[in-house]
Structure 1
Amino acid sequence: MVKESRVDVLIIGAGPSGLMCANALAGAGVNVKIIDNRPTGVTAGHADGIQPRTIEVLQSYGLAEPLLRDGGQMYLCAFYNPDSKGGIERTARTPDVTAPTARYPFKITIGQSRIEALFMDSMKSRGVTVDRPIVPSSLEISEDPEELLDPSSYPVKVVLDYIPPSDRAPEQEIVRAKFVVGADGAHSWVRKTLGISMDGEQTKYIWGVIDFTPDTDFPDIRNRSAIHSKNGSCMVIPREGDKVRFYLQMSEQDVMDPKTGKLDSRKVTPEKLLEVAGKTLYPYKVDRKEVEWSSIYIIGQRVASRFSANERVFIAGDACHTHSPKAGQGMNASMNDTHNLAWKLAQVIRGRADISLLKTYELERKKYAEDLIEFDRQWSGLFSGNAKTSDSKEGVSHEQFLRVFKSFGGFSSGISVHYVPSAIVDSTHQACAPSIIIGQRMLPQVFVRAADARPVDIQDMILSDTRFKLLLFVGLLTSEQLTKVGGLAEELQTPTSFLQRYGYPAQGKAQSMFDIIPIAAGNKDDVNFLDLPPIFRTHWSKVLMDDIDVTGRLGGGAYNRFGINEKEITMVVVRPDGYVGMIAPSTALESMDKYFGSFLIPLQEP
């Protein structure tokens, strides 16, 4: 008899994107099942770089510390170009992260297996494990409009085939799910089953990649290095411990079968890759102590034509966008896809948000993916192009390459990702805080807790726990200002205010809908946090001061930095994924009511 089960969310694929989704949903108390067709997870190779914004995201889930401790950290990028003697010479060093607001001014390099293990350990503590090896064999979505619009229904049917040991008969399971997430890679079965096309092209650029422990006299082996030589290009990525990764431009004669004209991966041995590396890095020598992994690929730059079917089945990660790995975007983009999606699924499944909220996933992440492909097209084209020399006047100059590297720093780091206006991004009152950009992530900023003077970064208080964070910049707490604050508290306690209409309390594993964090201007020595109305001080640790800490080194200047008036009250809504959804003055509460009313379901009609 075929086993049947029901789940809130079925995730197909247990790479970084699928694991990010499963961990976030499990933490939110959602009934989630995640499957993978591999008997085990990744053991070596694959993605290896974590961008500054992704570090912030992982920190919001409490997962960044092991990576910060154990991973390599890239602070500098060195640039090498052809010299007059047929070799290469260093032409510049520059910070690897060129995004001024990055909380972490470096990138972490560590194996994908370590990142997957972090997620799996976190999920296991919540009773969720990856079921493997399992492959889906069919997927059906109900055509009943009422069923599709009912978030409590199970309109998706997926048949799973368990891959048994040779001495056991095959087994099947029918899973009926409210939602399905296809995070099953570039050759996604889910995408193909839904008939979603991948739009774009495959380039002519062929690259080899090798992870190894080197024996070399190359002076920038522990910095990211972008190398243009007469013999091709190379990207050096320092890894954890003594390991490094080389991305190496390959010629067709190195990798093609002359009889078939097709890529022959058997020709690309570690020895061949190191031979190419030796030519590219000349006059520096490169030998190996130990090789961990190697591979080869042709760069493809494609984006899926759509990211969902009926807002019931979604695709994420490599299933909906592919690009070159040299800018370190693949795993980062993939994890941030499902970081964007998970909180929306959780609120819809709980019955707190309208199912239309899920439309914003494609709206936000497809635009990002298209921008990513455009960036990658320019970056990989320049990196794969010939270097400009006395013999090649049409090649890529160092100045041209460095200019593009710096101009895309905000995007490649993930720091300047900017979501377009929608139900959850309303820029009407942007002028209230000009430097907190609506649609971008909340800037890092150290404040001082009013109760105990402890310095805290605001990003550590806006955790990925599905709650909307309401940052109340209450200004300089004079008697006149406290009267305004008291008036706002009274308004927010009326039955028609958004805080009462949509303020779902914590239930079981589900967090409350809102987390209020007041931030006062002034001096930590003078402010009494108990002067604030009780509704604004839900816990003593939640009241912050814009002041310098006791060492005189941390915090202060936020009101000025953000362009916020100390004599007014400014409300900043930070979405559960850390992005700013709306800003409004306390005199525009109707704007806040309208904002939340556009996608949340009220507790009860007033």
Structure 2
Amino acid sequence: MKESQVDVLVIGAGPAGLMCSFGLARADVKVRVVDERPKKVAAGQADGIQPRTIEVFQVLTTAINSTNDGVYFALQSYGLADRLLREGNQMHMAAFYNPKSDGSGIELTDRVPDVTAPTARYPFEVTLHQGAIEAIFLDSMKEMGVEVNRPIRPTTIQISEDKNYHDGHPVRVVLKLLEGTGNDEEDSEVVYAKYVVGADGAHSWVRKSFDIAMEGEQTDYVWGVIDMIPDTDFPDIRNKTAVHSNNGSCMIIPREGDKVRVYTQLEGKAAIDARSGRLDKSKLGPNELLDVARKSFYPYTFKAPQSFDWWTIYIIGQRVASSYSVQERVFIAGDACHTHSPKAGQGMNASMNDSYNLVWKLAHVLRGWASPELLKTYEFERRKYAQDLITFDKGFAKLFSGKPRTELNQDGVSHEEFIRAFQTFGGFTSGIGVHYEGSVIVNAKHQNIAAHLVTGERVPPQYLLRAADSRPFEIQDLLPSDTRFKILVFTGNTSEPSQLAKLQTLAEELQAPDSFLTKFSPGGKPETLFDIISISSAKKESVVYNALPQLFRSHWSKAFLDDTPFTGQLGGKVYSTYGIGAAGAMVVVRPDGYVGTIAPLNGVTDLTDYFASFLTSSSA
């Protein structure tokens, strides 16, 4: 059989697999991605992108960085958000319908903002079918020379105990081309990989190959989904809408163009085979699903569409994999390690953010920048998140599938109870409130120095002014996903000579032989792994930015102010919003945009200890 080698083999080209492959390719990692499907999804499947995921997708403002040789180069992050926002539909409003008191159908009860996360940079969801989202990745990957190999099925996978096996590629995978010659040997290939990522869905072959259990349970809730262009008099057809009726529950999700998605609660017996206990799609079709929905939407009408774009039925299950990795050589991501209901729009978002968490860690280890121990934090962070997601989903699915409270059913779900849950968990469902607990890469020792910039959470959006030209910048646009750590140095008021003197001392400490900036910089070049950005509380009218020590203005574009532009319409709140005092602070932002640790301006030793816990020294 043919043989090949690769740094990372990704099995599965859904959203999790494509996010992983794309991120690794951008990090110059030799990656290969295979998928059993002959082509990408054409319609349906997952369709909701939450605010935090939009932040990840965002085309970040080009950041100019200088090398020690004075060579300037441009860096950009994933670069996917423009197309997502252009092609997708935005959901800003959520509507709620409940039974009329006289029992004659449903009526509007409330309308509220769809996203209830105060710090969301994008306070809305974007809906676009999975195939179109996959196309955004596929087209961007193609520009980098990476394409999905399909239709290919893995048949065996083994991990050698010898780390130097096959020139340091200890994972052996046999792949089979499904549309080949028909000769097994000619159609098969042995791939030797340093790492494998199984992003191959809820029925993951990779997970099953290593007997990784899915822990959790299956509910009795059965739902149907139809995608269509509606012909209806329902007034909230273009808003996210939750309907609780005496005939069951429904949800409307407006989609790109004129399409909508309708979720319909079903009676379990109508869709389950009595002998096997499994779903039987032959018992129901899209027309039957629409008939069920019509009863819940009465007195509003839905005419039969000319065609259905996509449809399916499913039982809500809530499970988490017992392990996310095997020997830190084989990892699983996305639906391969967690399944839950789609009502809160978490599936695709959780999946892609699994990969987003893993990519920079793989890149650092492959480059020799970090110890392989870093890879253990992937399971530690993302499995805890998945467990929290399942806990939330159990309660939310129960509320959604429960009967509404009426005069005859006082034990049912009240509107107040449902909307309270909807708003209370807004930070979680939006992805904005994801919190990673303490670990080698999350250290909250000096949290009080930046009280509202929470260690283990993503950096909230705020506007800054670039000191050299007073141009406003969103701080998230200064944190591209380029595998580097960002060191945000909140310098205090640099118009004060005493503060400048402290910064001069800090610069000398940072450049000392025992500082992290010296010990862990690959090839002796700090800008390869660290990007230093200074943020002064001085005012634009009086600041002299080039009075800063050179380290804090490696290029004129690296020095910023906590001030407003002359229009006065934005900015000027970074220090107060983040809870940083006049003494300043140093904030380490991980390559995925999450706060790793915080230290005072005299805390270089604390930062060195932080990085020493997982980085390898440049001499090694």
TM-score, with length taken from structure 2: 0.94
Give the aligned partner of residue 583 of structure 1.
Answer: 598
Which of 588, 606, 620 in structure 2 is aligned with 1:573? 588
Which of 123, 128, 149 in structure 1 is aligned with 2:141? 123
Give the aligned partner of residue 328 of structure 1.
Answer: 345
Which of 609, 612, 616 in structure 2 is aligned with 1:594? 609
Give the aligned partner of residue 17 of structure 1.
Answer: 16
State whether structure 2 residue 441 is matched by structure 1 residue 424: yes
Give the aligned partner of residue 474 of structure 2.
Answer: 457
Which of 169, 178, 184 in structure 2 is aligned with 1:163? 178
The superposition leaves residues 51-101 of structure 1 with CA deviations (integer Å, 9 ceiling, x where unpaired) of 000000111411111111221111111111111233011111111101100
Q: Secondary structure at the match of 2:16?
A: helix
In the aligned structure 2, how far is the partner of 1:415 from the partner of 1:560?
20
Q: Secondary structure at the match of 1:180?
A: strand
State whether structure 2 residue 57 is matched by structure 1 residue 58: yes
The superposition leaves residues 179-200 of structure 1 with CA deviations (integer Å, 9 ceiling, x where unpaired) of 0000000000000001100000
Instruction: Kindly provide the amino acid, as one letter, of the partner of residue 481 in structure 2.
Output: S
Q: Secondary structure at the match of 2:308?
A: strand
In the aligned structure 1, how far is the partner of 2:404 from the partner of 2:341?
19
State whether structure 2 residue 417 is matched by structure 1 residue 400: yes
Tell me by how many angstroms 1:503 deviates: 1.9
Matched residue count: 598
Which of 109, 116, 132 in structure 1 is aligned with 2:150? 132
Give the aligned partner of residue 194 of structure 1.
Answer: 210
Q: 1:511 to 1:23 in 2, by over 3 A?
A: farther
Give the aligned partner of residue 369 of structure 1.
Answer: 386
Instruction: Kindly provide the amino acid, as one letter, of the partner of residue 141 in structure 1.
Output: I
In the aligned structure 2, how far is the partner of 1:304 from the partner of 1:511?
38
Kept after mapping to 1: 8 A contact 2:462/2:573: no
Instruction: Kindly provide the amino acid, as one letter, of the partner of residue 253 in structure 2.
Output: I
Which of 545, 552, 562 in structure 2 is aligned with 1:546? 562
Q: 1:356 to 1:296 in 2, by over 3 A?
A: same
Give the aligned partner of residue 385 of structure 1.
Answer: 402
Kept after mapping to 2: 8 A contact 1:302/1:322: yes
Which of 486, 496, 511 in structure 1 is aligned with 2:514? 496
Instruction: Kindly provide the amino acid, as one letter, of the partner of residue 476 in structure 2.
Output: Q
Tell me by how many angstroms 1:390 deviates: 1.3
The superposition leaves residues 471-527 of structure 1 with CA deviations (integer Å, 9 ceiling, x where unpaired) of 0000111111111111111111111100111122699xx981001110011211211
Kept after mapping to 2: 8 A contact 1:72/1:109: yes
The superposition leaves residues 382-421 of structure 1 with CA deviations (integer Å, 9 ceiling, x where unpaired) of 1011111112111111111111111111000000000010
Give the aligned partner of residue 340 of structure 1.
Answer: 357
Aligned residue runs from structure 1 range 412-561, under 5 A: 412-477=429-494, 478-504=496-522, 512-561=528-577
Q: Identity of aligned pairs, percent?
A: 57
In the aligned structure 2, how far is the partner of 1:555 from the partner of 1:289?
51
Q: 1:552 to 1:81 in 2, by over 3 A?
A: same
Kept after mapping to 2: 8 A contact 1:215/1:289: no
Give the aligned partner of residue 227 of structure 1.
Answer: 243
Give the aligned partner of residue 295 of structure 2.
Answer: 279
Kept after mapping to 2: 8 A contact 1:11/1:182: yes
Kept after mapping to 2: 8 A contact 1:53/1:102: yes
In the aligned structure 2, how far is the partner of 1:165 from the partner of 1:312?
30
Give the aligned partner of residue 45 of structure 1.
Answer: 44
The superposition leaves residues 105-147 of structure 1 with CA deviations (integer Å, 9 ceiling, x where unpaired) of 0000011111111111111111111000100000000123x54
Q: Secondary structure at the match of 2:473?
A: strand
Give the aligned partner of residue 305 of structure 1.
Answer: 322
Deviates more, 1:229-238 or 1:118-127: 118-127
Kept after mapping to 2: 8 A contact 1:214/1:290: no
Give the aligned partner of residue 316 of structure 1.
Answer: 333
Instruction: Kindly provide the amino acid, as one letter, of the partner of residue 159 in structure 1.
Output: V
Kept after mapping to 2: 8 A contact 1:430/1:437: yes
Structure 1 gaps, min length 5: none
Tell me by how many angstroms 1:262 deviates: 3.9
In the aligned structure 1, how far is the partner of 2:527 from the partner of 2:493?
31
Tell me by how many angstroms 1:378 deviates: 0.4
Q: 1:582 to 1:551 in 2, by over 3 A?
A: same
Tell me by how many angstroms 1:559 deviates: 0.8
The superposition leaves residues 206-254 of structure 1 with CA deviations (integer Å, 9 ceiling, x where unpaired) of 0000110001111111110011000100010010111100111011343
The superposition leaves residues 413-460 of structure 1 with CA deviations (integer Å, 9 ceiling, x where unpaired) of 000000010000000000000000000001111101111111111101
Runs of 4+, deviation exceeding 6 Å: 166-169
In the aligned structure 1, how far is the partner of 2:200 from the partner of 2:36?
9
Q: Secondary structure at the match of 2:83?
A: helix
Q: Secondary structure at the match of 1:247?
A: strand
Tell me by how many angstroms 1:16 deviates: 0.4
Q: 1:180 to 1:69 in 2, by over 3 A?
A: same
Q: 1:468 to 1:593 in 2, by over 3 A?
A: same
The superposition leaves residues 148-168 of structure 1 with CA deviations (integer Å, 9 ceiling, x where unpaired) of 9x9x82110000011125777
Instruction: Kindly provide the amino acid, as one letter, of the partner of residue 355 in structure 2.
Output: T
Deviates more, 1:571-580 or 1:541-550: 541-550
Give the aligned partner of residue 160 of structure 2.
Answer: 142
In the aligned structure 2, how far is the partner of 1:12 from the partner of 1:262?
27
Deviates more, 1:335-344 or 1:533-542: 533-542
State whether structure 2 residue 78 is matched by structure 1 residue 78: no
State whether structure 2 residue 115 is matched by structure 1 residue 97: yes
Q: Secondary structure at the match of 1:586?
A: coil
In the aligned structure 1, how far is the partner of 2:408 from the partner of 2:356?
48
In the aligned structure 2, how far is the partner of 1:496 from the partner of 1:260?
66
Kept after mapping to 1: 8 A contact 2:97/2:106: yes
Tell me by how many angstroms 1:550 deviates: 2.3
Tell me by how many angstroms 1:290 deviates: 3.7
In the aligned structure 2, how far is the partner of 1:167 from the partner of 1:558?
63
Kept after mapping to 1: 8 A contact 2:447/2:598: yes
Which of 178, 198, 209 in structure 2 is aligned with 1:182? 198
Tell me by how many angstroms 1:263 deviates: 2.3
In the aligned structure 2, how far is the partner of 1:261 from the partner of 1:356?
44
Instruction: Kindly provide the amino acid, as one letter, of the partner of residue 271 in structure 2.
Output: V
Structure 2 gaps, min length 5: 59-76
In the aligned structure 1, how far is the partner of 2:456 from the partner of 2:262?
36
Kept after mapping to 1: 8 A contact 2:518/2:524: no
Q: 1:432 to 1:261 in 2, by over 3 A?
A: closer
The superposition leaves residues 328-371 of structure 1 with CA deviations (integer Å, 9 ceiling, x where unpaired) of 00000000000000000000000010000000000000000000
Instruction: Kindly provide the amino acid, as one letter, of the partner of residue 146 in structure 2.
Output: V
In the aligned structure 2, how far is the partner of 1:67 from the partner of 1:9?
27
Instruction: Kindly provide the amino acid, as one letter, of the partner of residue 36 in structure 2.
Output: N
The superposition leaves residues 246-281 of structure 1 with CA deviations (integer Å, 9 ceiling, x where unpaired) of 111011343234566542201221111111111110
Q: Secondary structure at the match of 2:352?
A: helix
Q: Secondary structure at the match of 2:41?
A: coil
Q: 1:133 to 1:511 in 2, by over 3 A?
A: farther
Instruction: Kindly provide the amino acid, as one letter, of the partner of residue 502 in structure 1.
Output: F
Give the aligned partner of residue 34 of structure 1.
Answer: 33
Q: Secondary structure at the match of 1:386?
A: coil
Q: Secondary structure at the match of 2:168?
A: coil
In the aligned structure 2, how far is the partner of 1:418 from the partner of 1:440?
5
